[in-house]
Amino acid sequence: MKLKYFVLMMSLLMGPFLVSAAGKYTQLRDLRVEYKKNPLGIGTSSPRFFWKITSDVPGQMQTAYQLLVATTPGKLAPGKADLWDSKKVGSDQSIQVAYQGKVLESRQRCYWTVKIWDKDGKEVKAVSPAYFEIGLLEESDWQADWIRSAQVFTEYSYPSPLLRKEFTLAKKIKSARLYVTSLGLYEFRLNGTKVGDEMFTPGWTSFKNRLQYQVYDVTGLLTTGNNAAGVVLGNGWYRAFNPNSNRNREITPLEVLAQLEIEFSDGSRQVVKTDNSWKASTGAILKSEIYDGEIYDARLEKSGWDKPGFDDKTWLGTAAISRGKSNLVSAVSEPVRRIEELTPVKIIVTPGGDTVVDMGQNMVGWCRLTLNCPAGTTIKLRHAEVLDKKGNFYTENLRTARQEIVYTCRGGGAEVYEPRFSFQGFRYVAVSGYPKPVTTDMIRGIVVHSDLERTGSFSCNEPLLNQLQHNIIWGQKGNFLDVPTDCPQRNERLGWTGDAQVFAPTACFNMNSAGFFTKWLYDLAADQHEDGAVPHVIPNVLGRGGSSGWADAAVVVPWVMYRSYGDTRILEEQFVSMKKWVEFMRKQAGDTYLFKPKDRQFGDWLAFATTRSDYPGATTDKDFLSTAYFYHSADLLCRMAVILGKKQEAADYGELQQKIKEAFIREFVTTNGRLSSNTQTAYVVALSFGLLPPELEKNAASRLAQDVNSFGHLTTGFLGTADLCHVLARYGYLAEAYKLLYRKEYPSWLYPVTKGATTIWERWDGIKPDNTFQNAGMNSFNHYAYGAIGDWMYKVVAGINAGLPGYKSIVIKPFPGGKMNDVACSHETLYGTVSSAWKITDNRFVLTVSIPANTSAEIYVPSTGRTLKQNGMDQTQAEWITPEGTAYGFLKTRAGSGDYVFESDYMPGK
């Protein structure tokens, strides 16, 4: 009886799961729809389902599943599910399972659950039901009008409009949803409270083609009786400064579209919408700019303006605008949010006399001020990434971006202020106008970025490399603010395609970037030119594009998403866009199959350069790179056509890539494997893309290694850096790869770390060895592209690789080298956590591995002997493999899910 009671209590504590012999358990967790937990407002009627299996049963696998989708939780049972009952499906698929039930309609709330059958045929049920809600799928679903303030502004930087409306709800409220978007940024408020915790809504997209709306559950913010709605608008990206033009900016009105739908307990409904009955005024935000900052005068605040009963008799009216809504789309990425707070590490008085707050970290966001000053006291904050050689505040690299916050106090007590519609990239904050000594407790750094789930970790016994990993993460945080920007501080902050495509594998390892890149790719397709050319930046604010290695993001990023998440839908959705870009190159190449673009080319951007005659730089021929990327994109497109079952396209692009390869070899390769561009990047690209005949690969790799050893360092730019160490290690030059990783002098990954960097730099020598700066016109200290080395650290140093797409099968194959003797790395896949940690102690290599349920793995254990222990037992089935270029071999074994400790002999010096 006591045993039964114990089992019952454990079941209640841990949720429904299968209890088997010896206390083994299997349970389902982390139920998601379209990568999100219980999402509202999804924009598809065919959503995809995901679930994870947790088990301490070795080798646990799913053999079948049954999905149930219903209109109420009570109907989630076989034979009762009124939207979809998949029945029992014999399959191990637990990610990307597409809905196949009844047609789903706008606003529909759906509950779902899943059960599986494990490897022994036993049922395992989900812990609790999940839900999702459909957004507004049709243009006709929108009843609201676009509205703008009736006030006419004659200057570009005008005060942020305030719009408000009061309304009455006469019945008991069951539920309420707010659907809202804007031209400009919005903050929506109900009864004095901000709706949601999202920032910079509706986000940055190709506004003419795709304008996102958000959906909020606002049931708890409304009350029976009188209510008030309010909106604050800011310029945002919609009216942002054009970074490459001095022409006058248009004075485009800011607008909002909002539809508040309330369902009452008796089943009746009421809609409160934007129309010309709303009132408008301005308040304390006198200026809000993405690049320049915010000016806020607290004396102009209108207390209670967003609450019922406020006197708005003096407010102006609003104008309803006749504007179509066919471009409205639901948000697919995780929103921007406040993520964390930083406390200043010290206060500095510079030689130039500035009082400067050091946040200790180059960050993106803003400062929260806590003040108590007389009315009219005006405080200015200026933001910078670095101090100069003398220790003075340095802003020249911001170009024309002001990055200033100006706050005027209302007086009369404590005041707390944060900007709403502007963000800064900074570590240092110069404070002026404050009438008291500046202290660390009056200011906090508020870090904001797209709220992407952190999925990757890496650490080792080398502190400088741990700082490098830290810098990679913070570079991604700072530049993944709704779009993958190049930098977050100067008058640019644009979604450069080349930066994104080289960093995408690292990004997808460290954070769940599926929705983030999906959104961005939709905009890429929307902004793509009719002839197939892909703009340099997405969203496109620069006009033309078509630069090789940049435009190829159209093909490369979907491929990375497929490999990272097993996502075939993104391949299908982007196939036309990918094909247009390859066809654009084919048309320009003609019968020569050599792509020599007519548009501006960036080439191997910011490759190593020097003015020393005895120490040459490294410029790779742009025609070489263009044809190489022509081949690469055709190759990937061929593979994706095969995956999607597009046989004709697969045959066509397979033939095309072969012709490109033949032309490339004739034009750029000698008979002994020397390339016409004798640079590291040229050899990396040719070998990484598979452009050389097999018999010449060894010679080419040898030339690459010779160049690395001759220089003693890397010479690559944006296009060559990501795969440099991969290619060296693949062809047996692991020592050279580790040599580059460990190098501390310029140019190297660790050189910025030795200079105190807390993010990845744009240039290898943003701060020169003599502590002067590189060219201020192009010198960001938060630029993630060179952080692409992370992918090599995770895949080769730690050894975590996706065997099948989405990590359905996993390859663990660490390559120890250099001074590395203690590494720990993990990645949260869509199936669960995979980890690889290894140590070298007492001539033993100890590898600790965790493989999630419903996956399997091939595990390669480095060894200089032929004996292998697995969890303390001799493993006699291991296969011995000897790779080229290492002082050790590998013992290869296979494993199902579970936790393992492998030990092998390891004496590489003997």
- Other beta carbons within 10 Å of 141: 16
Q: For Cα atoms 762, 763, 767, give the angle at the middle one, nearest 5 degrees.
A: 110
> Which of 294, 334, 492, 903 is labelled catalytic?
492
Cis amide linkage into residue 335, ω under 30° from 0: no
Query: Nearest Cα to 747, choosing from 788, 704, 786, 794?
Result: 786
82: left (phi over 0), alpha (psi -120 to 50) or beta: alpha
Query: Nearest Cα to 229, choosing from 237, 218, 217?
Result: 218
Q: In this structure, what token pair is assigned to residue 65?
A: 């599943």
Report d(CA 620, CA 720) in Å as an integer.
10
Query: Nearest Cα to 214, choosing from 227, 201, 200?
Result: 201
Contact by Cβ (8 Å): 751, 764: yes
Report d(CA 429, CA 431) in Å as an integer.
6
Residue ranges of alpha helices (H) inside 402-496 are 463-479
- 550 φ, ψ to 5°? -95, -60
Is 492 among the catalytic positions?
yes
Any idea what DSSP says for residue 573?
Answer: H
* % helix, strand, coil for the chain, step of 5: 25, 30, 45
Q: How, if at all, do strands 809-812 and 844-863 pair?
A: parallel
Contact by Cβ (8 Å): 419, 183: no
DSSP letters, 75-113, are: G-STTT-SSEE---B-----SSEE--SSPP-TT-EEEEE
DSSP bridge partners of 368: 444
Residue 438, amino acid: V
Is 762 among the catalytic positions?
yes
**Residues contacting 365, CB < 8 A, separation 6+:** 338, 423, 424, 445, 446, 447, 448, 449
SS (H, E, C) 689-704: HCCCCHHHHHHHHHHH
> Which of 462, 762, 828, 903 is labelled catalytic?
762
Three-state secondary structure call for residue 351:
coil
- 295 φ, ψ to 5°? -115, 125
Give the position of tokens 């301005």.
282
What residues act catalytically? 492, 762
